[in-house]
Structure 1
Amino acid sequence: MSIWQRIAAFLGSFSEGTGLAGGIANIFDPDNWMPGGRDAAFTMSIIALSAKMAVADGVVSIREIKTFHRLVDIAEGEDRHVDQFFALAQQDVAGFDAYARKVRKLFIDSPATLEHVLDALFEIATADGLVHEDEIAYLKAISDIFGFDEVRFEQIASQHVLMPSGQRDPYAVLGLVPGASDDELKRTYRQLVAEHHPDRMIAKGVPTELMGLATAKMAAINTAYQEIQAVRGQRQVLLAE
């Protein structure tokens, strides 16, 4: 059974009264897991929290929708299940904090997976080129619930929100300061690569349909590392002359 078929099974037919009882947030309760349901729960957390972010922002742009479809490989003909779930999550009486706490409980053993949820929300929020204050406040609140401190949140944000120059701060992306040694740079880079390797993400419950998240994360990490290496290499050449 595919992720989308599982989502359809979870939802059931609300019109016939056979859908999920007690609110969408119950899907994320580990006590309600179904065999093989962890990856479906991850996908649904992206959809549900995106829906709640849309409520916080007050509008869903075309670019945000396209970004969601770029990050999530939705099987042909399954769009209606995603749209239905998105609409239900917007209408559900549970606040976003209830969703976020369920997600944290679900993936408490994998901070990297929680980070990928936040990554997806940042990608969607920045899709139209402008992150609203309400969206930043929403993302920060979710980050707090997930257990990330201020430094970690700023690091994650820096991987998505561009500086006035239109570029990302490579040191912030890696969670380093410009004065970090070469050894610290290499050690941090290798650790991040190990944490966010697609194979590890799959093992932690991130479904193959969402590997676009892992790919984007690795691209940001690799680009930041290469940019720092290039600048340091040029600096060494200048000092040697």
Structure 2
Amino acid sequence: MSWWGKLVGGAFGFMLGGALGAVLGAALGHKFDKGLEGMPGGGAEWGAGGRERVQTAFFTATFSVMGRVAKADGHVSPDEIRLAQAVMEQMSLSEEMRQTAIRLFNEGKADGFPLDEVLEQFRVECHRRSTLIQMFMEIQIQAAYADGRMDAKEESLLLHICARLNISEFTFRQLEKMIRAERHYTGAGEGRRQAPRERFSLDDAYAILNIGADVTDKEVKRAYRRLMSQHHPDKLVSKGLPEEMMKMAAAKTDEIRKAYERVKEARGMR
């Protein structure tokens, strides 16, 4: 049974506790006021660092923090709501999971949302799974760009989130550049969705691969392999990405592959 099936099937003994447990409990209509220890039916997968526990933490943090990012500039735009809905659609969530994701998003928008506590617990639950934390951050940056631009308040909040998750500003800028290139390729700009381009521009391809045009062919190949390894769906799921997000990871690897092919073609690489 999946992490979600165990959760709603009565195995509330996982009880993340802390801020994540409180936010998820509010979304599910339960009060999670105990920890896993001493609860029946927890099992290794629900213990600290267990995959299903991490999957639950990722799901909870992703949608609740997305709500906070959407509210950063003082209001939630229709585009930001559509972005959250698009993520849910990509995950092919069941109606029950979708409703929970919406409630988590609303919890994040609410006054008094314990952002720092949620982020700290999420970081601990991920247990140094840096690729998983980076995937989480990519989703939050996409949320900030949902209306076509990132304003100063959204940028400030995202930098704060990065600091809490031990992500450097340099890494944040790299991720932001990649997200902008992806949006340019897919035709998502200024809040209006256009038809996707047939191929990456060369500048966008380099941005997706997170390299400059002046690197060697060997460095291009190295960057491609690194990114494919970081975003491989099966690897991410093994680290705690909810299975429902495999489609998102697969779409990301497809974009990385297309960007690599574009650079290879331009350079005449074999």
Q: Distance in 2 between matches of 1:176 and 1:78?
A: 38
Q: Which TM-score applies when normalising by structure 1?
A: 0.78
Q: Which of 56, 59, 64 is the matching residue for 1:48?
A: 64
After superposing on structure 2, the runs of 4+ consecutive aligned residues of structure 1 that deviate more than 4 Å are 1-5, 7-16, 30-35, 162-168
Look up the match of 1:62. Answer: 78
Displacement of 1:202:
0.6
Residue type of the partner of 2:32? L
Look up the match of 2:198. Answer: none
Displacement of 1:44:
0.6
Identity of aligned pairs, percent? 26
Q: Does the alignment pair 1:146 with 2:158?
A: no
Look up the match of 2:32. Answer: 20
Aligned-pair Cα RMSD in Å = 3.3
Q: Is the 8 A contact 1:159 1:220 kept in 2?
A: no
Q: What whole-Å deviation, never above 9, does each CA across 1:197-223 have from its counterpart, x for those lacking one?
A: 001011000011112331232133223
Q: Which of 99, 104, 107 is the matching residue for 1:80?
A: 99
> Any idea what SS the aligned residue of 1:160 has?
helix
Q: Distance in 2 between matches of 1:53 and 1:116?
A: 16
Q: What whole-Å deviation, never above 9, does each CA across 1:75-103 have from its counterpart, x for those lacking one?
A: 12443322333333333635422222222
Task: From the superposition, tell whether residues 3 and 81 of structure 1 become closer, same or farther in structure 2 (CA, over 3 Å).
Answer: farther
- Which structure carries more relative contact order (alpha carbon 8 Å, separation 6+)? 1
Q: Is the 8 A contact 1:38 1:205 kept in 2?
A: yes
Look up the match of 1:25. Answer: none
Look up the match of 1:105. Answer: 124
Q: What whole-Å deviation, never above 9, does each CA across 1:181-210 have from its counterpart, x for those lacking one?
A: 101111121121112100101100001111
Displacement of 1:106:
1.5
Residue type of the partner of 1:48? S
Q: What whole-Å deviation, never above 9, does each CA across 1:57-90 have from its counterpart, x for those lacking one?
A: 2222333223223323221244332233333333
Q: Distance in 2 between matches of 1:136 and 1:2?
A: 35
For structure 1, list consecutive stretches of 5 or more residues without a partner in the other structure.
23-29, 237-241
Task: From the superposition, tell whether residues 101 and 179 of structure 1 become closer, same or farther in structure 2 (CA, over 3 Å).
Answer: same
Q: Distance in 1 between matches of 2:83 and 2:74?
A: 18
Look up the match of 1:27. Answer: none
> Any idea what SS the aligned residue of 1:19 has?
coil
Q: Distance in 1 between matches of 2:8 and 2:139?
A: 19
Larger deviation, residues 63-72 vs 203-212: 63-72
Displacement of 1:224:
2.4
Q: Which TM-score applies when normalising by structure 2?
A: 0.71
Q: Is the 8 A contact 1:70 1:212 kept in 2?
A: no
Task: From the superposition, tell whether residues 60 and 215 of structure 1 become closer, same or farther in structure 2 (CA, over 3 Å).
Answer: farther
Task: From the superposition, tell whether residues 108 and 15 of structure 1 become closer, same or farther in structure 2 (CA, over 3 Å).
Answer: closer
Larger deviation, residues 32-41 vs 121-130: 32-41
Look up the match of 2:226. Answer: 191
For structure 2, list consecutive stretches of 5 or more residues without a partner in the other structure.
13-20, 35-45, 190-200
> Any idea what SS the aligned residue of 1:159 has?
helix
Q: Which of 249, 253, 257 is the matching residue for 1:218?
A: 253
Q: Distance in 2 between matches of 1:193 and 1:60?
A: 33
Q: Is the 8 A contact 1:170 1:227 kept in 2?
A: yes
Task: From the superposition, tell whether residues 222 and 62 of structure 1 become closer, same or farther in structure 2 (CA, over 3 Å).
Answer: same
> Any idea what SS the aligned residue of 1:46 has?
helix
Look up the match of 1:207. Answer: 242
Larger deviation, residues 169-178 vs 133-142: 169-178
Q: Would you say how many aligned residue pairs link Structure 1 and Structure 2? A: 226
